[in-house]
Amino acid sequence: MKRPVVVKALGGAVALVLATGCSSGSGDASPGSAEERPRTPPSASASGTAAAPPAATGATVAGTLTKGLASPWGLAELPGGDLLVSSRDERTVTRVDGRTGGKTPLGEVPGVVPAGEGGLLGLAVRDGWVYAYLTASSDNRIVRMRYGGGAGDRLGPPEPVLTGIPKGFTHNGGRIAFGPDGMLYAGTGETGDTGLAQDRESLGGKVLRMTPEGRPAPGNPFPGSVVYSYGHRNVQGLAWDADGRLWAAEFGQNTWDELNLVEAGRNYGWPEAEGRAGEKGFVDPVAQWRTSEASPSGIAYARGAIWMAGLRGERLWRVPLSGAERSGEPEAFLEGDHGRLRTVLATGGDRLWLVTSETDTRGTPGPGDDRILRLRVE
């Protein structure tokens, strides 16, 4: 049973780091992993210089947009403000009216084979296409489907964009998003085969960057490859800040979950390092958390901070930023109020959408779960 919507900021309970050397991430679960153990544009000033709005210091729940969702995972906003949400286990995409919360089923995506942490995962929308990261019979892959955008429309047949991403019962990654450069990015997992993270020939345990058609993006660090960064365990959060820097959240194994600043060609350390290691050749996370306090999935950037959804941690973390560094201690909000939190999406200004994840087989669903919540950052 969830507590009433009362927001508290929690201090401490988080270890912070600066910037040189490692990685982590953990899929929702593997033996011994964190999940499986018991358990608005700037305004112009009078001088003509762009003045950023003051950084947000908190978040409150303004209401529930919709409820009764089954294993929701991916969330994408359509032009006009309606949302698309994927069901990991039911293999379906549903359109949600961004004002009323009314739900319109758009159909089942062919070829999805749900098992463990695999299924129909991340969503992205661009130029009349809906992109989806999914688990198929032989691999994880990214497909795209035509969508006209009408409330009664259905998705077109899936067309492959990128195939051959390793799949497993755990650590499938799954987040996709278009960057400010117009390229498609994907966070993948190493499926429990830790060696894949350091193997630049493998697509597992990576952040990938590609054209909307799935080709290696211009300027990628490794010629002819979609690999953008490596040494990751299981990336499920991707977001860009106001200056276009890429941030990623990933699961740790037993000790540290991470928020990383992702740069082209860099090595984030897994499996040689988990959390801040200070080892030459590895990039340290900007912030790290005990796995009981986070187990992060989706992230979003709004009002000068990264907002990170926690599954096992059952809370929303705020990490204030100043350029490429954090500018203060991370704070936790909504601790335990809504159970496991899967996806957070910024919609501009002071609003976020937050998706709960109590029906993913690891939660304790109550009446009305799962939900999309309206958040206001202040």
For position 43, what pLDDT does the model report?
32
Where does the pLDDT of residue 348 fall: very low under 50, low under 70, confident under 90, or very high at 90 and above?
A: confident
For position 349, what pLDDT does the model report?
86
Q: What is the pLDDT of residues 258-272, one digit of tens each?
A: 999 999 999 999 999
User: Cα(161)–Cα(76) distance, rounded to whole angstroms?
Assistant: 18
Q: Can you tell me the mean pLDDT for 228-249? A: 98
Q: Is 101 exposed, middle or buried (0-12, 13-18, 19+ CB in 10 A)?
A: middle
Q: In terms of Cα–Cα distance, which of 311, 365, 333 is closest to 34?
A: 311
> Does position 15 have pLDDT exceeding 80, yes or no?
no
Between 2 and 139, where is the model more confident? 139
Percent of the chain with pLDDT over 70: 85
DSSP labels, 164-225: EE---SS-----EEE-TTS-EEEE-B-TT-GGGGG-TTSSSSEEEEE-TTSSBPTT-SSTT-
For position 170, what pLDDT does the model report?
98
- The full length of the chain comes to 378
For position 248, what pLDDT does the model report?
99
Residues 112 and 71 sit within 8 Å (Cβ to Cβ): no
Alpha-carbon torsion (30, 31, 35, 36), positive or negative? positive
Tokens describing residue 229: 């960064």
For position 317, what pLDDT does the model report?
98
Which pairs count as long-range contacts for 100-107, CB under 8 Å and 24+ apart, including other chains?
A: 101/64, 101/65, 101/66, 101/67, 101/372, 102/66, 103/66, 103/68, 104/151, 104/152, 106/147, 106/153, 106/154, 106/155, 107/154, 107/155
Where does the pLDDT of residue 30 fall: very low under 50, low under 70, confident under 90, or very high at 90 and above?
A: very low
Tokens describing residue 225: 């490859």
Q: Can you tell me the mean pLDDT for 205-209? A: 99
Q: In terms of Cα–Cα distance, which of 279, 285, 286, 312 is closest to 297?
A: 312
Q: What is the pLDDT of residues 308-323, one digit of tens each?
A: 999 999 999 999 999 9
Rounded to 5 degrees, φ, ψ at 294 are -140, -85
DSSP labels, 177-190: EE-TTS-EEEE-B-
Mean pLDDT of the chain: 88
> Does position 342 have pLDDT exceeding 60, yes or no?
yes
Where does the pLDDT of residue 157 fall: very low under 50, low under 70, confident under 90, or very high at 90 and above?
A: very high
> Does position 338 have pLDDT exceeding 90, yes or no?
yes
Q: What is the pLDDT of residues 100-152, one digit of tens each?
A: 999 999 999 999 999 999 999 999 999 999 999 999 999 999 999 999 866 56
Starting at the edge strand that comes first in sequence, how are the strands of the sheet with 206-210 ordered?
176-178, 184-187, 206-210, 227-230
> Does position 210 have pLDDT exceeding 50, yes or no?
yes
Q: What is the pLDDT of residues 269-300, one digit of tens each?
A: 999 999 999 999 999 999 999 999 999 999 99
For position 21, what pLDDT does the model report?
34
Q: Can you tell me the mean pLDDT for 9-38? A: 35
Q: What is the pLDDT of residues 50-87, one digit of tens each?
A: 445 567 788 999 999 999 999 999 999 999 999 999 99
Q: Can you tell me the mean pLDDT for 194-205? A: 98
